[in-house]
Amino acid sequence: MTASRMTIVVAVALVDADGRVLLARRPAGKAMAGLWEFPGGKLHSGETPEAGLIRELREELGIDTEESCLAPFTFASHAYDEFHLLMPLYVCRTWQGVPAPREGQRLAWVRPAALRDYPMPPADKPLVAMLRDLLLP
């Protein structure tokens, strides 16, 4: 099997003081519009995953965090028709500012047990069970 174009997208599970996880709903006009996902985005050339995630959080949500606040958690590897996605997922519990949608997306703070109730892109779905195991007592 030939490998298709590899795309690296970095994502984060922002976890608030109440143990809820922030999800963003992809806006109309974007691929997979209407599906819920963990905040993040594509890396720029030469950018580390942590630097890319810090940049994406500032651009998408207007919040700031530091590399030391990003805990590597797991990753997704998924073959879409047009590309193969590799997505490192971090967990972050510390940031400055209040997350606000800056790119037309909707936001929802979701309890870990309810994460499976939100339709997600195929690459994000396997991450839900792992997050629930991490966050539920």
Give percent above pLDDT 90 in the chain. 84
In a domain, 1, yes or no: no
Tell me if 41 sits within 8 A of 10, measured CB to CB. yes
| pLDDT average, residue stretch 117-127 | 93
| pLDDT average, residue stretch 53-60 | 97
In a domain, 136, yes or no: no
Structurally, how many domains does the chain consist of? 1
Q: Is the pLDDT of residue 2 over 70?
A: no
Q: How far apart are CA 61 and CA 56, in angstroms?
A: 8
In the β-sheet with 70-79, what is the strand arrangement from edge to edge? 40-42, 6-14, 84-92, 70-79
Predicted local confidence at residue 34, as pLDDT: 93
Q: Residue 137, Cβ neighbours under 10 Å: how many?
A: 4
In a domain, 137, yes or no: no
Query: Confidence band (pLDDT; 50, 70, 90) for 137?
Result: confident
Predicted local confidence at residue 29, as pLDDT: 84
State the residue range of the domain holding 112: 6-131
Tell me if 132 sits within 8 A of 113, measured CB to CB. yes
Q: Is the pLDDT of residue 1 over 70?
A: no
In the β-sheet with 106-110, what is the strand arrangement from edge to edge? 36-37, 21-25, 106-110
**What DSSP character marks residue 116?**
G
Kindly report the CATH number assigned to the domain that includes residue 15: 3.90.79.10
Query: Confidence band (pLDDT; 50, 70, 90) for 28?
Result: confident
Predicted local confidence at residue 85, as pLDDT: 93
